[in-house]
A and B are shown apart, each in its own frame.
Chain A
Amino acid sequence: MIWVYALTDRPTAVLPDVTGHDSRRLEQTCTSEFAGVWSNWSCQQAPRPTADDLWCQEAVVEALMTDRTVLPMRFATVLADADELATAMTSRSDSLRTALDRVRGCVEMGVRARFEPSTSSSGCGRLSGTDYLLGRAAERGRADAIAATVHQRLAAASTGADKAVRRGIMPVLVGAYLVPEPQLDRFRTTVRELAADNPDLSIACTGPWPPYSFAEPGGLEP
Chain B
Amino acid sequence: MTIHSELEPSDDFGRQITLLELIDRLVGKGVVLHGDITLAVADIDLIYVGLRALISSVSTLEEQETASR
Chain A residues within CB distance 8 Å of chain B: 4, 6-7, 43, 46-49, 51, 54-55, 57-59, 62, 71-79, 84-85, 88, 92, 96, 99, 108, 110, 112, 174, 176, 188, 191-192, 195, 203-210, 212-213, 215-216, 218-219
Contacts and interface: CB of A to CB of B under 8 A. Distances in A.
Contacts of A46: 38-40, 45-47
A92 B7 CA distance: 38
Determine chain B's interface SS by DSSP, over half rule. mixed
A43 B38 CA distance: 9
Contacts of A204: 5-8, 14, 17
A54 B26 contact: yes
Contact of A112 (B2, B21, B31): B21
Contacts of B18: 206
Given A212-B30, A215-B31, A62 B1 contact: yes
Interface string B1-33: 111111110000010011111111111111111
Given A47-B40, A58-B3, A174 B30 contact: no
Contacts of A88: 33-34
Nearest to A95: B31
26 contacts: A4-B33, A43-B38, A48-B39, A51-B19, A54-B26, A55-B1, A73-B30, A75-B27, A77-B30, A77-B35, A77-B37, A77-B51, A78-B38, A79-B35, A84-B35, A85-B33, A110-B25, A176-B25, A176-B29, A188-B6, A203-B7, A206-B21, A209-B3, A209-B25, A212-B26, A215-B31
Given A208-B2, A212-B25, A79 B7 contact: no
Contacts of A195: 7
A51 to B, nearest CB: 6
B46 A191 contact: no
